[in-house]
């Protein structure tokens, strides 16, 4: 598959490398693609650096990993190239009110409503991912989306990288995984993911996933 990575810093460059290792062709993008030579060097001939719209156009699946503060700018740069594209949002919002609507994920969805969004790969640091990658029992990576194509694609990419996708719910569940949410920094293997999700849901009043 063709994977586009928007934001090739600590997280994006790491995920790009693992995607390339698992045989995908990768386009890494940032506001300064000319500075991504070092990242491309780690893609083993399976990657190139491009401006954001070109990387999105190239991609079957986009990994979205810019800084939260500049995420709107990244969406603006991508423009209509995001329409109909599967986008996996790995960002964590900063400076937002956890208990107030909307979640970071919901905010991004509103900025690019024609993209097919999934939330995933945002709960754990690259250190943890690196340590657990490919080891049995596989580390669970929570996936939230309303869309079956986005769920399928996110699950495939996560599996290819050496983790176990675990579906945590639709868009309304994404806040559980974000900054301050009960699944953020939750390091569990796939056999314990169900219990971790149940525990996270118990921290919210019945029928109200936003905890209000
Ligand atoms: N680091 C982790 O372990 C980790 C784990 C889970 C989730 N996350 C989340 O992932 C996101 C990125 O974190 P990070 O630690 O990887 O940050 P980082 O090392 O600062 O990298 C951010 C990258 O995004 C690019 N970028 C910033 N604004 C952009 C824009 N408008 N358009 C395109 N590219 C842009 C930056 O390059 P330019 O400035 O040159 O554009 C840089 O390549 C954050 O939301 C963070 O919460 C990080």
For the segment 81-127, what is each residue's pLDDT rounded down to a tens digit? 999 999 999 999 998 665 567 999 999 999 999 999 999 999 999 99
pLDDT of residue 40: 98
Residue 41 backbone dihedrals phi, psi, to 5 degrees: -60, -25
Q: List Cβ neighbours of 136 (8 Å cut-off, separation of 6 or more).
A: none
Question: What's the chain's average pLDDT?
Answer: 95
Q: What beta strand segments (E) does 12-156 contain?
A: 25-29, 47-50, 61-64, 86-89, 116-119, 140-144
Q: Provide mean pLDDT across the span 187-206.
A: 91
Overall average pLDDT of the 10-32 stretch: 98
- pLDDT(203) > 80: yes
Query: Rounded to 5 degrees, what angle do the CA atoms 28, 33, 39 make?
Result: 55
pLDDT at 154: 98
Token digits for 78?
């991508």
CA distance 129 to 48: 23
Who's near 186: CB < 8 A, 6+ residues apart?
123, 124, 142, 196, 200
**Residue 207, CA atoms < 13 Å, CB-side half-sphere:** 0
Distance, CA 14 to ligand 1 centroid (Å)?
11
**Residues paired with 116 in a beta bridge:** 86
CA distances in angstroms from 206 to 80, 104, 184, 196, 200, listed in the order given: 38, 22, 20, 17, 12
Residue 87, strand partner residues: 62, 117
Which tokens is 12 given? Answer: 């994006």
Contact residues of ligand 1, CB 6 A cut-off: 6-12, 29-32, 35, 52, 65-68, 70, 73-74, 77, 90-92, 122, 125-126
Mutation test residue for ligand 1: of 5, 11, 127, the one with most atoms within 8 Å of CB = 11
The mean pLDDT value for 66-82 works out to 98
**C-alpha 138: how far from chain center:** 18
β partners of residue 47:
26
Task: Please determine, for residue 38, whether its predicted confidence score (pLDDT) is greater than 90.
Answer: yes
Report, as an integer, the average pLDDT of 52-60: 98
Residue whose CB lies within 8 A of the most ligand 1 atoms, among 5, 10, 158, for a mutation test: 10
Atom 30 in ligand 1: residue holding the nearest Cα: 74
Minimum mean pLDDT range among 89-103, 135-149, 172-186: 89-103
CATH of domain 2-202: 3.40.50.720
Please give the pLDDT value at position 210: 57
To the question of pTM greater than 0.75 for the whole model, the response is: yes
* DSSP structure string for 33-57: GGG-HHHHHTTTTSEEEE-HHHHHH
Task: Kindly state the helix (H) or strand (E) to which residue 167 belongs, with its residue range.
Answer: strand 164-169
């Amino acid at each position: 598959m063709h994977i586009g990575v928007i934001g090739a810093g600590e997280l994006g460059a790491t995920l790009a490398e693992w995607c390339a290792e698992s045989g995908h062709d990768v386009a890494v993008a940032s506001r300064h693609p000319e500075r991504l030579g070092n990242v491309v060097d780690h893609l083993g001939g399976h990657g190139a650096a491009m401006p954001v719209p070109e990387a999105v156009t190239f991609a079957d699946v986009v990994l979205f990993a810019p800084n939260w503060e500049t995420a709107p700018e990244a969406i603006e740069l991508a423009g209509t190239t995001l329409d109909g594209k599967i986008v996996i949002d790995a960002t964590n919002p900063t400076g937002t009110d956890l208990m107030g609507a909307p979640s970071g994920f919901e905010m991004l969805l509103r900025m690019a409503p024609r993209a097919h969004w999934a939330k995933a790969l945002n709960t754990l640091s690259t250190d943890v991912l690196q340590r657990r990658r490919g080891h049995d029992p596989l580390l669970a990576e929570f996936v939230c989306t309303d869309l079956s194509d986005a769920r399928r694609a996110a699950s495939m990419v996560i599996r290819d990288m050496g983790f176990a996708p675990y579906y945590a719910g639709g868009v309304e569940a994404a806040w559980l995984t974000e900054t301050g949410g009960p699944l953020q920094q939750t390091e569990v293997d796939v056999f314990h993911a169900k219990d971790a999700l149940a525990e996270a849901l118990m921290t919210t009043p019945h029928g109200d996933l936003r905890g209000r």
